[in-house]
Amino acid sequence: MTSLTEIKVPDVGNVPSIDVVEVLIKPGDVIALDQTIAALETDKASMELPASAAGTVQQVFVKPGDKVSEGTLIATVLAEDAVVTETKAVVEPVAAPTPAAAPAVAPVQTPAPVVSSVAEPAKAQSAPVAATHINTGKPKPHASPSVRLFARELGVDMNLVSEGSGRKGRILKEDVKRYVKKAMTEGLPGASGGAGIPAIPAVDFSAFGEIETQKLSKIKRLTGQNMSRVWLNLPMVTYHDEADITDMEAFRTQLNSEKGKDEIKITGLLFIIKALVATLQQFPSFNASLSSDGENLILKKYCHIGIAVDTPNGLVVPVIRNANQKSIAELAAELAEKSAKARQGKLMPSDMQGGCMTISSLGGIGGTAFTPIVNAPEVAILGVTRAKMQPVWNGSEFVPRLMLPLDLTYDHRVIDGAEGARFMATLKLYLSDLRRLLL
């Protein structure tokens, strides 16, 4: 028995527009269930679209360069004894915000990481270009949802764009690009997000020797744009300190020695997550986001932690939800699962949304300190580098202690220096004596 089956774009989260990057099938091809039939890209991730039925391809309705959304028809397949299964898109990491490397991978996003961690990726707050030109008496701009999204990505207030060149004055992407170009070259009054800053001149590097041009992945390009917006719009401060994790490391080593060969090992990142969660509960202004108008602080009653993960396609920030309600064993299992998915390009967009604070770790590579960029709209990010033994004065003599460098970057509009120092002091206290997490 045969049946004609439609393959459509599945639910990939709240993503209004998806770019078709590559189509891997053509009419007449025989495909298997779950075989990758197309490559898609969203603002925050790349995806492999698997076939929801096996059989012979009859028609293909998309081509590279098309834009699709949930429910868009991709192809029809003549399936024999077809068993159609609900398909979920496999998503690759996205970006976030700020360099980070890995334990876990990432261990201390990524999501930045970056986030350095960075990122969430989460949407960055961005000030509108030339907000001082807003005409409150002007009717709402006529533009499609995709063009409005494009304008938001560039930090452009649609009210500032003159009448569009489309039919009946509809604003097109070209109109938004034209406005941004004018703002960048002429330095419009009140312009933000980089307007008016002299551009770096183009250089013909081939004049100096042999070169090779390699196109950046969309994830890296968008991460760069996000980081630039954050850098230009957030007054950030980074506070550096060290935590004594000698006892924590001894406890971790003991736990792992008791585990079987195939059991998930406990990493230091898991204890850092637990300590960070406890600290966030004591400092609610860190578990918050600033409203878009800058007038209100939105306090979050949940505690989702982003972990910046280093992948072949760039940093992504998967989010561990309700981390405050999970044990070390549960955190270990979820972190291992999401880190593996991130590296394999199988994260869903929903896996990288809703973070409260991000951890970006370079501990698996090295380093003594760095300045991670806040993964806006979060207001703080914790950076971690490699721990090392150091002589520490205990009042009577120097003793060897394992010290972990910590880097806390925060949005100075929300958090002042004293509060940042108190937050770090509390975090260090939990890391140096895990028993306090029980109190």
Q: Is 412 a catalytic residue?
A: yes
Go through the chain and tell me how many residues it has. Answer: 439
Bond prior to 113 in cis (omega within 30° of 0): yes
Burial tier of 99 (Cβ tally within 10 Å: 0-12, 13-18, 19+): buried
Cβ-contact 318, 92 below 8 angstroms: no
In the sheet with 46-50, reading across from the earlier edge strand, the strands are: 67-68, 18-23, 36-41, 46-50, 90-91
Radius of gyration of the chain (CA): 24
Task: Using the CB atoms, write b or e for 109-148: b if 16+ within 10 Å.
Answer: bbbbbbbbbbbbbbbbbbbbbbeeeeeeeeeebebeeebb
d(CA 26, CA 382): 47
d(CA 381, CA 97): 10
Q: For 154, how many CA atoms within 13 A lie in the half-sphere containing its CB?
A: 25
Cα angle: 60, vertex 61, 66; to 5 degrees? 125
d(CA 109, CA 120): 7
- In order of 107, 110, 304, 319, 389, the CA distances from 300 in angstroms are 24, 21, 10, 15, 37
Cβ-contact 352, 111 below 8 angstroms: yes
Active site residues: 412
